[in-house]
Every structure is written in structure tokens, then in C-alpha cells.
Structure 1
Amino acid sequence: MDKLTKGTWILNTTKHIVDVAQKSTELNYFETTALAGKTGVFLSKLVADKQEVITYEKVKKFARESSIDNNNRNVKMHLDLLKEYGKVDYNTKLTEVEVYCFSNEDAIETTADIYSNEIVDEDEDINIYSLEETYNVPRKREELVNKLVNNGYSEEKVNLAIKIQDTFGLIKVADNILYNEYTFTGNEAKMVKTISNISSSKKKDIEEVINRISNNQGLIENKITSDINPEIVKLMEGIGLIDGITVTSEIGEATFYTSPHIKGKGIKEKDFSLADDVFHKAKILLSCLRFGQEKSTYGRGKIDTRTKMLNIIRKLNRGEWLNPCTAVGQDYKLLEVDGVVRVRAFGNRFQMSLRQKEVGILVEKMILNNSIDTTDDMGDICSLEVQPSGIIIPEVRRQQMKPKEIGLVKELRDEMLTILRT
């Protein structure tokens, strides 16, 4: 398994375990995974397009947002680990940190390096390899067990690992078929095969949802569920045919849907993989822009057209600061703590620029994939009516949702898994 693939599975596992109470005994099975995964997430926030010096106070914020206890000793431990791999350096007084990691791909591969160079329990290796196996094709339980035993793992350890994976939602179990939620990520061919072979009467609904999202990445939920059974949409999200990201704020929340793989103009299937946007940065940036498009008022600089949105993202991709506006300092704090943008004061207003251009380029390609166009050009003001206070990523949404797996929904799920196995 190459480093990019291994690092991706480590990071995907970390997303499922970071919110679990630290006293949970099951976490003992993921000690090295958690160390490497949290450090990798931390590094992904430090990533910049060029060598950059960051204040220690900002570094501590990045650490906190990476599920790392941000006391000085703990932060320094993770910085020392990254320094060992040549990704950061810091001054004697630890007031500034210099970053030498310039892409999210580098952060993913560094995650794999950290994991591989630690003492790893067999349970953790089983987790990674079983995720890869169930990503390639849904497996019957005995089939997966035999495959892993033939690779040298004990049957007892394999069965325990599967049980723990089920507990954390890493592997889904449906009538003795094991699959994972990333089955369609980075592989549109699987999606095409599955949808084209569905015999259910709801095939047209599924195709319609796929088409709407493909043509409008970051499509708000009510533009789908207004005329399509919400349980069908839940099923599609639960099995991984679509990804949902929820943006929360003081006035409520909104959910935006994208394809599970990065899709856009100029992106071909061979160009994207399971590792693309593993940190969800492009999807989160797009969802924040969509939130501004759907929820803000015109008087505050509403992002009301596709052209206006493209103006914003293209200016960011050119490395320019956006025109100062009141809301940027509030609205994009989520993106700032994710390391995607930098924000600076401009009098009593704020300006924003992009720290990670690769994220902006992906978003631009996703927007350009839209079939809907407009002629209005309202400039580059980027503000929202209120500050988004949080993001719920696809993995968390799937763990929270409990679709009614009865009747037609269960029938559709079982049929999709059968198609994938043939």
C-alpha cells in the first residue's frame, strides 16, 4: 500500500474517533493511528503555498482545532514530531514556527510516515487493510476475515477489529455484507455501474439527485428534497453516493451536497483519488460560499450569482486580498482555523486571502462544472449575513443519521451492495 493511500485511511479513521471520550477503552486500539492522524490534521492546517512563519499563538489554535490538547507541552510534542520529519522548525523561545510543508498531499504522506515509524499494534494494521479491502468492493464477513487471515493476521484479531470498526462506524454492516462509506470516493466508475444497474422504481429519483448535484456542486438540501423523497436522499448519503456538509449558525443551519469525489471542469477520473480533499477543505470552502449565496441579504454583500462567486475564488487564487468588508473577519473564521485562508484587519473592516491555493483551485473547478450560469457581475465582496459557527463533515453526518432501513430503502441499499460485488 502506498503512503498516500495509507495516510488517507489513517486520517479517515481519525475523523471517526476524535470525538470519542478519551476514557473509552476502544481507543486503546487506535493509539498510533490517533497520534499520526491528529499530527497529520495539524500539519494540514499549517500547510501554506510557500515558506511561512506563523506565531505560536496561531499554531496553538491550529492544534486545538486538530483535537490536540493545546497545553504547551502537548503542542511542543507534536511540533517536535513534525520537526523530526523536516516539516517545521521553531525559534528557541517557541514564539514563532516556520512551515516547510507546501501541499495537503505532503501532509497525508507525512501522516503515513509517522504511523509506519511508530510501534504499531496488529489491530491498527488490520483496520487500515480492511478499510482498503471494503473500499475496493463490499465483502461478506467470512470473505474479509479469510482474506486478512491469509495475509498473516490472526482470526481472533480480525474479528475483534471488525467489531471495533462497526462500533466506530468505520465499516458498515448490512446483512453480513461489510462496506465503508468511501466506496464511491475517487471512483466515478463505481457510481455509474451501480446506478445504471439498479432495477428499482426509484432509479429515476437517484439519477435525478446525482445529476442535480453534478451540475451544481454544493447544492442546498431543499433544492433536492422539495420533490424527492428525503429517505432516498438519506440512503444515498449513508451509503456514500453523495456527501453532505452542514454549515451551522446562530440563525439555523443549512446542508449542502457534493459528489463524493472531486468533480469539476478540467478534472478527469484519472486525476482524482481517494486522497483528494480528504480534509474536506474544498467542500467546506464551497459550502461557506454557498451559505453566503443562500442565506445572506443583498444589502450586506450577498454572494448572489455564480459569476460573483467565481470573481471571489479567482481573486483568491491569484494570491490577492479581497476588498475589505465587515463580515470577512467573522464569516470565515472557520476557514481561518482550518488553515485555508488568512484574515487581517483593515481599519474597522477585514480582508481575506488564500493560504492554500490548491484548495481554491479545486473549488473553482467545481464551480465551473455547474451548468447554471448568470450574467450579473457584482464585484468581489464576500460576506455572509451571520457568522457560521460550525461545520458538520460528511463522516459525522453519516454517524448521526439513522435512515429507516426498511421497505424500499433497505431494498435499494441491498441492491446497490449486490451490484458492487458483481
Structure 2
Amino acid sequence: MDEKTTGSWLIHHTQRLQRAEYLPGYDRIYIAGKAGILLSAISADKASELSRERVNALATASKITPLELPGLLTKLQERELIDQTANGVSVLGVTTQAATLMHTARLFAISDPTPIENAALALAEAASQAPLDYNEALQIGDEHKLTKTLAQQAISESSDVGFVDVESLSGGQQLFFNGNLFRRDNTEKIKRVLDSLGSADQRLLNDATTQLQQRGCIEVTEIRRMLGDALFEKIMSVGLFDINVVSNPQEETGFVTLPSAFSKFSTSTVDDAFDLAKAFVSSITYGMTKSPSHRGRIDFVAALIRTLIRGEPIGPVPAIAQDYRILEVKGVVQVKDGAKNGRKGPMMWLLKREVGELALQVIMQGDASEQSLDALPSAAVSRYRGPEENQQIVRKKQVKESPTVTNDILRVLRTTGAR
């Protein structure tokens, strides 16, 4: 794996470890991943200096505790990625998410990782290309010089904590895969999925995919209505479509995107490893569909995003102080009071240009118009839950209700050759 891919899996695995009980043996993954998450939160397009208060706030939003923060900052300083002063933190030349992933991988590499940690990363990468049977998973352990017992332990722990998903087949067989299965060039894989379905389901899935390609994103209830409950659960459980959830104190609303939509140069596993572009799109589309004009309704979304990408602020309008809080806490934008054209009020600057560029690509390739997202919340978005976490929720429900409902899809992906 190259450094960017390794870094993306470190972030992925760290997010899984954060949601699980403490699992000894994966500390180097966890520390490197946490350092990468922190670096992503505090970095911007240009070298920047942040106050201690802002660093603490961004760390808290990234689920980094006050106990963890000093050690992570020290590690970043030792790598000359930041400089610490009594008043704050300066980020030194880390201006892209790709660079953040590469530095995350390097932090891991110099931490003397264990063979079982390296195997856990390799297993996830292999399972994202095509489902693996148990013997193939064991072979990955062998390639990393693990004994059979340790290889079995790595497989068991990887499936337990969610580094990979596991599907039980008849005869005691197992297939291992993960939610990144369709984040690469996925035309052939989608064809295999279609071939595994009956003609009626093929037609429904084709129609839904075409709608997503044309509209960019569609509210979850509409996709469920198009596919029917059974096909919806089957498709979502293997990650063929992504569910993105935005929420606020009043309600929680999900919408569906194609996994490959958030891919710019390689795969969305790498290009949007931190789910920042997905959060950006969800916030911008709220402004397009629900915010009244006096608060700052977005009528020309492409022009707005291009303004931000050029480094110019937008505003001042009241909605900026409320509707983009999730982007503030993720370090994607900065909001502060300013003046423009004789008006005063909240204004917004884009701190991570590449996130805006990726969001613009998704919106322009799919017609993210008012009708495509007319069910987003009518209050400010304060939380975003990404596709991987949502897929885990769907899979837990699916496994409980019908352990074999996705077997046909996984089997055809497993047995039809090229990855």
C-alpha cells in the first residue's frame, strides 16, 4: 500500500477502535490515527497559527481527550509538523488531506508497529477489493509472519471491532469484506451485483443508480421507496450505496450518495478519508433547500463554492453562524463577524480548499437541486454521521433479522474473479 492508502486505513481503524471497548495490541494504530485526526482538524490551506483555545475546541470535536492531546501534539512537533508556543500552535506546511494521510502513515511506520497491526491494515485493504474467504485471510497473516494462532486472533479481532465485516455462509464458511468495497472503480462490481439479482430487482436497482447519478444525492426514504425494504437492506448492508446522516436537536435525516462520487484522484477511501466533503455537501445542500432568503438561502451553489475555493469569504448573513457549525468543528471553515457591501454579520472562509473542490465536483456531476434534497432538516445541522458508521448500523440490523440476506451478493463478488 502507498502512504495515503495506509493513512486512510489508520484513520478508519482508529475510528473503529474509538467506538469499541479497549482492545490491547493496536495502540500504535490508535495513536497514529488520533494524531492524523488531530492534524486534519488543525491544518488549513496555508500555514496557520491557532490559539490554545481553538486547538482544544477542535480536539474535543474530534473526540480527543484532554489527557490525549498533549502527547499527540508532542508527536506532531517531533515530526516538525507543528510548532508549539505558550499562546498556541502553528501548523507547518500541512495543507492537504493527502499530506495528512501520508504523515499519519509515517508516524505509524516509525512507531515500531507489530506484525498483527500491519496484518490488520492489510486485511482491510484486501477485503475492500473483493470479499475474502477464511483461508485467504489467514494467508495475509502468514505474509506478515504471524503464527496461525496469531493470524486467527487478528481475523477474529478485526471482525469483532469492525476493521472488516464478516458474513457467515452455509457449511460454516465465512466471507470478509468492508464498507469500502464499492469506493474504487466499481463498474464491474456493480455489474456482478446486478447479475446476482432477479430481473425485477435488477430493474429497481438500475433505476435507483441512474437517479443518483443524475441528482447527486437523494433522501433515504425515497430510495427505500424505490427499492422496497428487502432490496434496500441488502444493498445498504454491503455498502453499494452510502447513507449520510445529518442531525440537529429536532430531527435526524439521511440521504444517499454513490460511494465513488467522492473520488477525485484515486478512491474516496483516500480522497475523503475524513468524510469532510460529505459533511460539506450535506451542509451546503441544507442551505440550498431550507434556509429562507433573509437568513442566507443559497440560490447559486456552484458560484458560492467557487467563491470559497478562491479564498474569498461569503456573507454576511445570519445563517452562516448557525447552519455550518459541523464544518466549523471539523476545521473545514472559519466563521467570524465581518463586513461586505455595507452589511455586517457572520462571514465564512474555507480553510480546506480541496474539500470544497471535491464537494463542488459531486454537486456539479449530480444535479443536487432543490428537489433532490427537499427533506433535509429545517433547523441548523449540528451533527454529521458518515457512511461507514451508518453501514455498521444497517448490518447489525440485517444480521439480526436475516443472516443470509446478502450472501448472494457477496458470493458473486467473491467467485467471479478480478478484483
TM superposition score normalised by structure 1 = 0.87
1:302 touches 1:384 (CA, 8 Å); kept in 2? no
Kindly state the Cα deviation for residue 147 of structure 1 after the two structures are TM-superposed.
4.1
Q: Tell me how far 1:31 sits from its aligned partner.
A: 0.8
Q: Distance in 2 between matches of 1:30 and 1:403?
A: 27
1:79 pairs with 70, 73, 88, which one? Answer: 73
Aligned residues: 399
C-alpha displacement at 1:80, in angstroms?
1.6
* Residue in 2 that maps onto 1:378: none
Q: Which residue matches 1:142?
A: 135
Aligned residue among 171, 191, 194 for 1:193: 191
* TM-score normalised per structure 2: 0.87
Instruction: Report the Cα distance in structure 1 between the residues aligned to 2:247 and 2:177, rounded to whole angstroms.
Output: 30
Pick one of 46, 52, 55 that aligns with 1:50.
46
Gaps (5+ residues) in structure 2?
371-375
Equivalent-residue separation in structure 2 for 1:361 and 1:18 (angstroms): 29
Superimposed CA distance per residue, residues 188-210 of structure 1 (whole angstroms, 9 cap, x where no aligned partner): 23433324423423112222222
Question: Is 2:321–2:335's contact at 8 Å kept on the other side of the alignment?
Answer: yes
Paired amino acid for 1:216: R
**CA displacement at 1:160 relative to structure 2:** 1.1
- Determine the C-alpha separation between the residues in 2 that align with 1:41 and 1:416: 33
Instruction: Give yes or no for contact 1:344–1:352 (8 Å, CA) kept in 2.
Output: yes
Q: Kindly state the Cα deviation for residue 360 of structure 1 after the two structures are TM-superposed.
A: 0.5
The one-letter amino acid of 1:279's match is F
Contact 1:44 1:104 in 2 (8 A): yes
1:330 matched to 2:329? The reply is: no
Unaligned runs of 5+ in 1: 375-382
Moved more, 146-155 or 158-167: 146-155
1:390 alignment counterpart: 383
Contact 2:237 2:391 in 1 (8 A): yes
Shift of 1:297: 4.1
Cα separation, 2, equivalents of 1:373 and 1:166: 39
The residue aligned with 2:373 is: none
Judge conservation of contact 2:217–2:257 (CA < 8 Å) in 1.
Answer: yes
- CA deviations over 1:209-249 (Å, ceiling 9, x no partner): 22222222232223322333134223322211111111001
Question: RMSD over aligned Cα, in angstroms?
Answer: 2.5
For the structure 1 residues 231 and 345, does the alpha-carbon distance in structure 2 shift closer, same or farther, using more than 3 Å as the test?
farther
Cα separation, 2, equivalents of 1:130 and 1:203: 31
Q: CA deviation at 1:373?
A: 6.5
Matched, 1:224 2:220: no
Contact 1:262 1:276 in 2 (8 A): no
Give 1:371 shift.
4.5
For 1:181, the equivalent position in structure 2 comes to: 179
Per-residue deviation, 1:293: 3.3
Distance 1:244 1:283, change over 3 A: same
> What does 1:261-276 correspond to in 2, within 5 Å?
261-262=260-261, 271-272=266-267, 274-276=269-271
Provide the residue aligned with 2:346 in structure 1: 350
Contact 1:258/1:283 (8 A) holds in 2: no
Report how far residue 152 of structure 1 moved.
2.0
Aligned to 1:160: 153
| Cα pair 2:116 2:146 within 8 Å, conserved | no
1:87-107, CA deviations, whole angstroms, 9 ceiling, x for partnerless residues? 11122x143434421100010
Aligned pair in 2 of structure 1 residues 147, 117: CA closer, same or farther (>3 Å)?
Answer: closer
